[in-house]
Structure formats: structure tokens, C-alpha cells
Amino acid sequence: MRKKVFLIVIVIIAIILLIPEENNEFRIRVIANSDSSADQNEKMAVVSALQKRIAGFDQNDIAGEVIANIDILEADVKRVLRHDNYLLSIKKIKYPAKTINGRVIPGGKYRTLLVVIGKGEGKNWWSLLYPDYHGISFEDAESGDIEYEFYFWEKLKKLLLGG
């Protein structure tokens, strides 16, 4: 009997953990044309321009501000790149869970301001645009300072161990 109850509890916990949470979290991602120095510099110039513009937005409604000002953000990108070989859009993109300074940043699908420069075959830069983690940014996994975590496992440990 105990085994059945334990199994039912585990199944219920798994279902709760797997149900996607609706969130207002918003991210920004810029993908370079290639890994050449010139393309990586171009990517970082776009990142810098977007960060400057977004810094002036209301951080309590960052998603609304980005959406409302998409034309201004696109004009900033075009001004920096000085060409039209890019795509700017807002999409839901899947991100892996990451750990930084002992804090787990949950993985999942997030609304993202996405800028793909040229072929979009270079390293990408991304950041989180919501208050808890505003200003944290990442290159790709090769940067060495990012640890991968299993979101499900972290949630389960937190539930079972209370930590």
C-alpha cells in the first residue's frame, strides 16, 4: 500500500513540475553572422545599442516596453549595422537551465527579442530582461563560466529537501 501511495505522490509531483508555468519573463538574444572577429564585434555593437535603449525602459514592464518600442529598437539595430542583412523579431525560444553564482535560472521557452545578423551562424549572446536577473548575460556554452542544471531535478530536490 505504501508503495502505491509513494508512486502516486511521485506522479503528482512530476505532473506539477512538468506543467509549464505562464510567465512574463523576457529575454534578448543576438546571433552573429559568423565567428569571425568582425562579425563578433558587429554582434556586440548591436548588443550595446540595445542595452542602452532598453536601460531607459520601465523595468517593471520590460516586455510591454520592448513590444511598444520595437520600431525604435529596429532603427537602433539598422543604424549600428548600416545594412539590412538581419532579422529582428519577437519569438518564443527554448533556453536551457543555467546556474550563476549559485542561483538556478530556469530553462524553458521564453519570449525573446531576437536579432539574427546575416546567416546567424556565429556565437550568440543572450540576456534576461526581467528584474530578478536583469543585466546577467551569456555568450554560448563554450565560455566556461556557465553550469548546466536539470530543471526538473532542481525542482524535485527543492520540493523534497525544502531547500
**Structural domain boundaries, residue 57:** 28-93+105-140
Contact partners, residue 29, CB within 8 Å, separation at least 6: 93, 112, 113, 114, 115, 124, 125, 126
φ/ψ region of 130 (left if φ > 0, alpha if ψ in -120 to 50, else beta) reads beta
* pLDDT value for 134: 47
What is the total count of domains within the chain? 1
User: With bands split at pLDDT 50, 70 and 90, how would you rate the model's confidence at 146?
Assistant: very low
Q: Is residue 5 part of a domain?
A: no
Q: Is residue 99 part of a domain?
A: no
Q: Is residue 61 part of a domain?
A: yes
| Cα end-to-end span (Å), the chain | 29
Q: Is residue 145 part of a domain?
A: no
Could you report the per-residue pLDDT of 84-133, keeping only the tens digit for each?
Answer: 999 999 988 887 777 777 777 777 888 889 999 999 988 888 776 654 44
Global pTM exceeds 0.75: no
Q: Is residue 100 part of a domain?
A: no
Helix intervals (H) in the chain: 2-18, 37-55, 62-68, 70-81, 151-161
**70-80 average pLDDT score:** 95
Q: Is residue 47 part of a domain?
A: yes
Q: Is residue 98 part of a domain?
A: no
Q: Is residue 109 part of a domain?
A: yes
